[in-house]
Amino acid sequence: MIFENELIAGVLIKRYKRFFVDIKVQNKVITAHCPNTGSMMGLLKKGNKVWFTKSNDIKRKLRWTLQIIEVNGEKVGINTHLTNKIFYEALSKGKIINIKKNDTLFKEKNFNKNTRFDFFIKSKDKGSFIEVKNVTLSRFKNIAEFPDAVTERGLKHIKELIEARNRGFDIYLAFVIQREDCKKFKIAEDIDPKYKKLLTFALKNKLKVICYDCKFLSKGIVINNKINFIK
C-alpha cells in the first residue's frame, strides 16, 4: 500500500474531538484529520514524532491526514482507512489465504441487510467471509492487543460471523497489526471482557483468526509476518 503523497514529519501536540490532531511542523502548527475512532491508547503523548500526508483534494476541509505515530522508537500506523488496502494487497496475491484460480475475491460483500463484511471469497463449493481489524495497542513488550476500547461494533461483527458459519460459510477474523515490534497477539480482556468471551465462543464454532504485522517502507506499508495468536 503506497501513500497518496510523500510523508511529512512533525511533532504531536494533541488529539481532540476524535478526528482532529494538532501537529507542530517546523515553526508552525497545522490541524490534520485523525482517521482512527479508537482510543489510540499509548500513542498520544505530546512530543511524539508523527508522519502525515497532504491530500490532493482541494475541497477537503482538512488537507492533512495523520498516518504514523512513533512511540519509543517504533512506528505505529494509525490510519484505519488503509487497513483493508494493506490486507487486500497480500490477500489478492495469495499470501494469506490460498485463493485458487477459479475463486473470486470481493471487497465489502453484503451478508444481510444490516451487515457487510470486508471481504468474501467465492469458491466453487463454498464461500468465505473475512472481517479485518486494525491493531495499534501494545502495552507489554512484543505483544499486540485488541481492542483498545470497548467495541460494540466488534461484537456485532463476531455475532454475524457466527451466523454466517451457521449458514455454511467459512469465517475469518483478521487482525492487521500496524507495527513491527510485536511477536504475539492477544485479546485485551481487561478492556473488553465481552469481546473476549464472544470471540472464544466463536473459535469453538470454527472461526479462524489470522494475525499479521506490517513493515514500514519509505512510501507505504505492507503485510509482513504472521503473528502467533495467544488464545
3 in any annotated domain: no
**For the residues 176-193, what does the mean pLDDT come to?**
98
218 in any annotated domain: yes
Q: Which residue matches cell numbers 482517521?
A: 35
2 in any annotated domain: no
**Are residue 98 and residue 72 in the same domain, yes or no?**
no
**Are residue 22 and residue 63 in the same domain, yes or no?**
yes
**Are residue 124 and residue 152 in the same domain, yes or no?**
yes
Q: Residue 59 — pLDDT band, cuts 50, 70, 90?
A: confident
Check which CATH number belongs to the domain holding 133 and give it: 3.40.1350.60
The number of folded domains in the chain is 2
pTM for this prediction: 0.95
The phi, psi pair for 14, rounded to 5°, reads -165, 155
Q: Residue 101: pLDDT above 90?
A: no
**Are residue 205 and residue 165 in the same domain, yes or no?**
yes
**Are residue 20 and residue 72 in the same domain, yes or no?**
yes
**Are residue 19 and residue 65 in the same domain, yes or no?**
yes
Last residue of a domain, one of 77, 107, 125: 77
**Are residue 161 and residue 200 in the same domain, yes or no?**
yes
106 in any annotated domain: yes
**Are residue 166 and residue 191 in the same domain, yes or no?**
yes
**For the residues 153-160, what does the mean pLDDT come to?**
97
Residue range(s) defining the domain that contains residue 59: 8-77
Q: Residue 196: pLDDT above 90?
A: yes
Q: How far apart are CA 60 and CA 104, in angstroms?
A: 35
Q: CA nearest 134: which of 54, 76, 64?
A: 76
CA 159 to chain centre: 19
Could you tell me what percent of the chain has a pLDDT over 90?
Answer: 90
Q: CA nearest 109: which of 87, 124, 131, 91?
A: 131
- Which helix (H) or strand (E) covers residue 155, if one does? helix 152-166
Q: Residue 174: pLDDT above 90?
A: yes
Q: Residue 113 — pLDDT band, cuts 50, 70, 90?
A: confident
Q: Residue 100 — pLDDT band, cuts 50, 70, 90?
A: confident
1 in any annotated domain: no
**Are residue 137 and residue 35 in the same domain, yes or no?**
no
Check which CATH number belongs to the domain holding 36 and give it: 2.40.50.580
Contact predicate 178/137, CB 8 Å: no
138 in any annotated domain: yes
